[in-house]
Structure 1
């Protein structure tokens, strides 16, 4: 072995053993942000919020009329935005989103894989064709988006953020939405795996998984239903889409591994991991009656599974305990503050115990 070989090997070893430098992401106001599923629910609120903060927005969805309306709305307020009509279940469409962002703005800094669709029905009733279509959107769409984003971030040599929107049902299975839960489980596994690979190779990409609880969006109205009654979040705690949008844009600026939208999402994940059989029983008891409203279900052909649904609605027709925000998501933005509060409460509790 030559001296040059020894030096090269030593440098490589030092690089492997050195701690990964914390990524420094741009402020949202200085970013170009790609958002899929941008014409409804979380995606729509995120696009509007990002534009208000000064970001250049690349909105992608299947509904071209809604996309045009969104871009016109954003531009009238003095912000920059473009749209790409795309079906994220098709890799060529996803690549076209990336190409359009680069040709229009020269780059993109954050890619948000948000587009999703669901099927409500008993597992043995749902056709395998419908199951595959859900996976096309909810799993393969984020896979295609991840590949396009990482390729761009790697080639340009600068840091970027990849944000995948998962679900509380990606941490814990459920009845009635078995296909949706399975696709989100797959997305969670993909996100963790690609994060580790990129980190091992020290690729400058921040990978965040968003874990929304039940969010008040039209997602249930867009779903294909095998039920007699209309899918809906019902008789449960429901969070506003703004809570998820805030978490997404926080992750665009600050590298975060996971962000849970609502203590509901975190509690179900923890309960399922610690007490799986108890959680089975609870889900069996709660999820049958809390996933539909007391009105007839829409015909299957009117769902958004195979074609674009109606756009420009950020809220759904859900009924329950509608929260105005997620305090849990807000506190996890500042873990040091959260830890300090926890320590303070523990000290107070200990002091109280001593006086008794």
Structure 2
């Protein structure tokens, strides 16, 4: 199975879940050191074979060469993506272009290469694309990412319709809400404050399990997160109310109180700190227990997050 974005976050969590099943893997990402560490973790988790390919999904030729190098691939998981935060009128053109290149056009390169690969083999092929709740709703300050994800959802649904007559090809879309990954810290930003995943935050492992479930039994769209369907419903049914409150809610739950410098994040090059978790939530320690004072928050980003959430 081939996984893009396999060195961090949802991609790495999915690779580890597949490795625990004893699945041979091919991991794609931009950072050779991060890929080497991901491969080590996957071998330790149980994968009998882990190959890595340093590849930027925006390079169509490199993606096609990665598939050729991988050999016969039965399943593909597309999880690569980047984020830029800014009010649209202040968003640098190069940031907009890069987010669209990676999150939309890069994903399209992977989808196209996967379809060509599956058709050439003539055997069963599974493709799972990781979308987002932000492919169905909007928030302020994330226009480039939201544009990319809305378009990506449309692309995947179109491919599902087109490939419906090919029973050996199965295409699924997984749309998570906020997830505890490093993507918020690694994002480009023009905002004066830091970013964080708004509550409730799901684990990367829960998204990985949704991906594996789609590989076992394909679905058109699988949403991950308890509030996702309700947020999407409110956006559709009560657009006036949604528009009136979404900016205030974003400031309250998706930004820290810590000043932040302008940054290009990982838009144009990998950054250090690629790993499964972002450190925003302590596994097994629900935030309501922390609010009630029964669990002391840990130090670091998670501590700042919990202190912000518990502040009066």
Larger radius of gyration: 1
- Determine helix, strand or coil for the equivalent of 1:269: helix
Secondary structure in structure 1 of the residue aligned to 2:163: helix
User: Gaps spanning 5+ residues in structure 2: where?
Assistant: 287-312
Instruction: Say which SS state the counterpart of residue 227 (structure 2) adopts.
Output: helix
Whole-Å separation in 2 of the counterparts to 1:176 and 1:321: 29
Q: Is the CA contact (8 Å cut-off) linking 1:44 and 1:312 kept in structure 2? A: no
1:320-340 CA-partner distances (Å, limit 9, x unpaired): 99887xxxxxxxxxxxxxxxx
Are positions 1:163 and 2:132 aligned together? no
Match of 2:267 in 1: 305
**What residue in structure 2 maps to residue 318 of structure 1?**
280
- What does residue 201 of structure 2 align with? 238
Aligned length: 285
- The answer as to whether partners of 2:184 and 2:196 remain within 8 angstroms in 1 is yes
Q: Deviations over 1:164-211 (max 9, x none)?
A: 111111101110111111110010010111111111x43521111111
Q: TM-score, normalised by structure 2?
A: 0.86
Q: Is the 8 A contact 1:216 1:241 kept in 2?
A: yes
In the TM superposition, what is the alpha-carbon distance from 1:298 to its structure 2 partner? 4.3
Following the alignment from structure 2 to structure 1, what is the Cα–Cα distance between the partners of residues 158 and 285?
33
Tell me what 2:56 maps to.
87
Q: Can you give the 5+ residue segments of structure 1 that lack an aligned partner in the other structure?
A: 1-32, 325-356
Asked whether 1:283 is paired with 2:246, we answer yes
Give the TM-score normalised by the residue count of structure 1.
0.76
| Mapping for residues 169-184 of structure 1, pairs under 5 Å | 169-184=134-149
Q: C-alpha distance in 2, partners of 1:136/1:192? A: 19
> Cα gap change, 1:213/1:77 in structure 2, threshold over 3 Å: closer, same or farther?
closer
Q: CA RMSD in A?
A: 1.9
Q: Which moved more, 1:203-212 or 1:162-171?
A: 203-212
- Do the aligned residues in 2 keep the contact of 1:237 with 1:320 (CA within 8 Å)? no
